[in-house]
């Protein structure tokens, strides 16, 4: 199912982030060259927020997803939990959400996601596979980077997207910040959909995806947050899929645990802890895998202790 | 408390559904005769989405409700769960949400809901009972049908609503699709409020209703989804009511279980599994009934097995 | 970090409340003198709603927060639970949310909250402490009062805020109503942030706060609802903080239980039941305290009984 409009779909989130920047703990402004830059958490002055993270995720999915975070129990701790509902999961995840495009920002190579990637068609084989032909006058690109792109770099991104630089929005959400931690947690949905397709399931038969996953603690060490988000998903991420026809390939989404230290390469092919699959053709429901909140705490670097929840306790 | 404005209240949801149709997995367009048709899940090309289902529910309540779905544990499975907050429950549910109007679409008789029903005043005694006198230039009607109405049928619906056909919006959300499954789950709130009034509780003393209910799996068999949604509510639906003055009639909402196969007739008078009632006059709180998630799985056609949630398991 | 714009940040909520008043169970209209008055629950004709309560909370935080209520299990009961995500917690809570300004409404002294307080700078030392210098042409003030202010009183509030009376919005959300009960539950976030600062933690190092707390039943006795909301927070409120650098002062947020009857004075310095703190500098996570849902029921005046959740029960 070719579907255009993901960049346009991201514009309402961009609008909210620029108009209500201070209230979301972020900053937005035009670069000299004309590109709109939304800073969701670089440095210490802009702290970001869980709401800004959710808007970033929604924009990165080209408006096909709704994302929100609440807090809930993960073992004895009460931690942020991200939930997402994703329509057209193959387009949203493979076509936009996953950071599969390398661009330069601040002189460094960083991973780019968002619907702008569908305009640049990077990597090209993805867009052939999901038969997606995005056309747009505006481009929205998300960078997991703490470094601001300069005007040259923004210009090159706009050029790759085939839009004027003044029609380009760059959302900076480094993994080290609150918004970036949410964004990395959302990738768990993307990797599951990617796995499903890699294992031979047809992308246009994936009708809907919902995710529930703990958000790792932000930290100055971005790489550690990326690892924690990925590994948190492999032990405590839950996905509900609606598919047109069940196939045994789907079970592969939960198989093959990651090693305890996720690497840059294995991160985008990591399994999810738990998967429930509803077949819209016969209404059958299957479940695979299981969540282990205790292991999520370990991956988040939180020591685990037995706690009696009915009394006052201090866990440091 | 007569309250007008439900059709106008539904227009923001209609606007979102038409402007962001592709991103919600739906289609919207004008019929030849001028009516706006929003297709949330007829046939295989439009798959719908849980978000589209929530917008349909909100529109069907005339904007008096906010609806959202997350995923949560129902026994060992992680399934979509609908939550709703409903202001003015008698108007929203009896006056709009419940599919109490028979219209024709695609040559077949189908059940219509939504605030347009309040303009057509079908059935009339309902509107006398809740003292509702809706006036509007726009009409919004929801159909649980997989068949498109033709222009004649749309014209007749507009006429019954007393609006020009170009001011009529028809939302198609067949129970067989994702959005329709959400819509049928929402009816659990409507049937509870209807029971309350049937058992003698005055409609204007029902101040607020909140619902939490599992959403049945979509399936090609629409009738099976309708049954599953209704029966899921009778065993696992939870409602919180705020009322002005407790009355023993309220307990009737949870009494008299449905038979295991809900019929078209009994569906709209089904009890809810669990009810918590807060009396705003004295702040007292009462609870009736209880949820049984395992039975919901049975009604959803999901085999039940004992599962140790702390280890990796595969349930097919 | 001085941050202006809280009054402007509240305007979208004001817009929704005025444009969709009837659908939210509230009333909005201009007073003779020109002030906009939004009545969320005075008297019996306007019942309010949980959604109206959430919009009030968001407006009272100057748009820095997103608030929503679902229903969830508190012991054997299913009760409304408020969740909030708050960016810039010191500004939002100390600068706006907490009702630290005494004004007159209906001839009585009532507590005022909302970003208008930041324009009036009451109490002044708060704004020096958080280094906040709010400037705005519009003022939004929330009153926990069942009495309408007259034009004189509205004029004096506008004057204190330094805005024209026609640029003043007054949101009435008495604790006795549904919206006011939500608003009082939200204060649990405010008191925790206030405690944190009182115990010596620097306000600009509090980066983010999330709250989860049960909402007390509305009741004709407003003072009882205020007590219940506060005491509910001390036994069942959960907060997640993101801070820049952990400090032992933070543990003070959960210490020193309130006496069983909260007083007007102790209410705004009450501890929260459970606190999880994430340090954004090193990603460490600490937890303090614990929730006791059963005690929340006692504070809400709900008798507690042992219930077997797997069978039909009636608890009155």
Set of chain B residues whose Cβ sits within 8 Å of the Cβ of A85: 49-51, 69
In sequence order, the 6+-apart residues with CB closer than 8 A to the CB of A13 are A55, A56, A58, A59, A63
What distance in Å separates residue B305's CA from the closest CA in chain A?
11
B228-274: per-residue pLDDT in tens?
A: 999 999 999 999 999 999 998 898 888 765 444 456 667 777 899 99
Looking at the predicted complex, does its ipTM rise above 0.90? yes
Set of chain C residues whose Cβ sits within 8 Å of the Cβ of B240: 71, 78-80
Q: Is A68 exposed, middle or buried (0-12, 13-18, 19+ CB in 10 A)?
A: buried
Is B105 in contact with A316 (CB distance < 8 Å)?
no
Residues of A with a Cβ under 8 Å from any B Cβ are: 1, 3-6, 9, 62-64, 66, 83, 85, 87-88, 207-208, 210-212, 238, 240, 242, 244, 251, 254, 274, 276, 278-292
CB A25 to CB C292 under 8 A? no
**Residue C232, pLDDT score:** 96
Report the residue from B24, B77, B307 with minimal CB separation from A87: B24
% pLDDT > 90, chain C: 84
H helix runs in chain B, sequence order: 6-19, 50-60, 89, 116-120, 124-129, 151-161, 178-198, 222-236, 264-267, 293-299
Set of chain B residues whose Cβ sits within 8 Å of the Cβ of C179: none
CB C276 to CB A20 under 8 A? no
H helix runs in chain A, sequence order: 6-19, 50-60, 89, 116-120, 124-129, 151-161, 178-198, 222-236, 264-267, 293-299
Chain A residue closest to C61 (CA)? A23
Quick one: average pLDDT of B195-210? 93
Is B230 in contact with B214 (CB distance < 8 Å)?
no
In sequence order, the 6+-apart residues with CB closer than 8 A to the CB of A103 are A109, A110, A112, A141, A143, A149, A153, A156, A157, A160
* C-alpha closest to that of C244 among A46, A314, A232, A214: A46
Chain C residue closest to A20 (CA)? C9
% pLDDT > 90, chain B: 84
CB C289 to CB A311 under 8 A? no
Quick one: average pLDDT of B77-88? 97
Report the residue from B50, B220, B312 with minimal CB separation from A85: B50
Q: What is the pLDDT along chain A (316 residues), one digit of tens a residue?
A: 445 599 999 999 999 999 999 999 999 999 999 999 999 998 767 899 999 999 999 999 999 999 999 999 999 899 999 999 999 999 999 999 999 999 999 999 999 999 999 999 999 999 999 999 999 999 999 999 988 999 999 999 999 999 999 999 999 999 999 999 999 999 999 999 999 998 889 999 999 999 999 999 999 899 999 999 999 999 999 999 999 999 988 988 887 654 444 566 677 778 999 999 999 999 999 999 999 999 999 999 996 544 444 344 444 3
With contact defined as 3+ CB pairs under 8 Å, the chains touching B are A, C
CB A218 to CB C283 under 8 A? yes
C240-255: per-residue pLDDT in tens?
A: 999 999 998 898 888 7
CA pair distance B52, B40, nearest whole angstrom: 7
Set of chain C residues whose Cβ sits within 8 Å of the Cβ of B274: 78
Is B185 in contact with B216 (CB distance < 8 Å)?
yes
Chain B residue closest to C47 (CA)? B207
Chain C residue closest to B84 (CA)? C70
CB B287 to CB C313 under 8 A? yes
Set of chain B residues whose Cβ sits within 8 Å of the Cβ of C78: 212, 238, 240, 274, 276, 287
CB A45 to CB C278 under 8 A? no
The structural architecture, per CATH, of the domain C6-61+94-172 is Roll (3.10)
Set of chain B residues whose Cβ sits within 8 Å of the Cβ of A64: 23
Set of chain A residues whose Cβ sits within 8 Å of the Cβ of C284: 217, 301-302
With contact defined as 3+ CB pairs under 8 Å, the chains touching A are B, C
CB B238 to CB C71 under 8 A? yes
Is B62 in contact with B52 (CB distance < 8 Å)?
no
* C-alpha closest to that of C195 among C225, C239, C226, C153: C239
Is B71 in contact with A240 (CB distance < 8 Å)?
yes
Set of chain B residues whose Cβ sits within 8 Å of the Cβ of C43: none
Domain segments of chain B as ranges? 6-61+94-172, 178-299
CATH number for the domain formed by residue range(s) B178-299: 3.30.1030.10
Chain A residue closest to B75 (CA)? A287
Residue B266 CB coordination number (10 Å): 15
Residue C126 CB coordination number (10 Å): 21
**How do strand C168-172 and strand C36-39 relate by DSSP bridges?**
parallel
Predicted model pTM = 0.95
Full DSSP string of C73-86: EETTEEEEEEEEEE
pLDDT band at C102 (very low <50, low <70, confident <90, very high): very high
Report the residue from B85, B279, B292 with minimal CB separation from C69: B85
C40-70: per-residue pLDDT in tens?
A: 998 767 899 999 999 999 999 999 999 999 9
CB A314 to CB C251 under 8 A? yes
**Residue C89, pLDDT score:** 97
């Amino acid at each position: 199912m070719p579907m255009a409009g993901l960049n346009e779909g991201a514009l309402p989130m961009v609008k909210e982030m620029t108009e209500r920047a201070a209230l979301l703990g972020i900053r937005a402004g035009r670069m000299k060259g004309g590109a709109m830059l939304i800073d969701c958490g670089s440095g210490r002055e802009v702290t970001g927020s869980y709401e800004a993270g959710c808007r970033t995720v929604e924009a990165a999915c080209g408006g096909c997803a709704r994302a929100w975070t609440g807090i809930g129990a993960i073992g004895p701790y009460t931690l942020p939990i991200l939930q997402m509902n994703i329509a057209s999961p193959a387009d949203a995840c493979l076509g936009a959400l996953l950071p599969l495009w390398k661009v330069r920002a601040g002189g460094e190579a960083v991973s780019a996601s968002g619907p702008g990637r569908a305009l640049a068609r990077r990597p090209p084989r993805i867009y052939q596979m999901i038969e997606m032909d995005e056309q747009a006058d505006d481009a929205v690109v998300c960078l997991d980077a703490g470094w601001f792109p300069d005007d040259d770099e923004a210009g090159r991104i706009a050029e790759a997207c085939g839009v004027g630089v003044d029609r380009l929005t760059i959302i900076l959400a480094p993994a080290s910040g609150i918004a970036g931690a949410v964004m990395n947690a959302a990738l768990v949905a993307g990797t599951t959909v990617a796995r499903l397709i890699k294992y031979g399931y047809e992308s246009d038969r994936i009708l809907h995806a919902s995710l529930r996953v703990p958000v790792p603690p932000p930290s100055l060490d971005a790489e550690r947050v990326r690892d924690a988000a990925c590994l948190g998903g492999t032990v405590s991420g839950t996905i509900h899929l609606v598919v047109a026809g069940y196939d045994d390939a789907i079970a592969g989404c939960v198989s093959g645990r990651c090693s305890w230290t996720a690497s840059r390469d294995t991160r985008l092919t990591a399994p999810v802890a738990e998967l429930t699959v509803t077949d819209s053709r016969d209404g059958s429901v299957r479940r695979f895998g299981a969540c282990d909140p205790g292991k999520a705490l370990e991956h988040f670097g939180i020591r685990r202790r037995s706690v009696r929840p009915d009394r006052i306790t201090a866990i440091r």
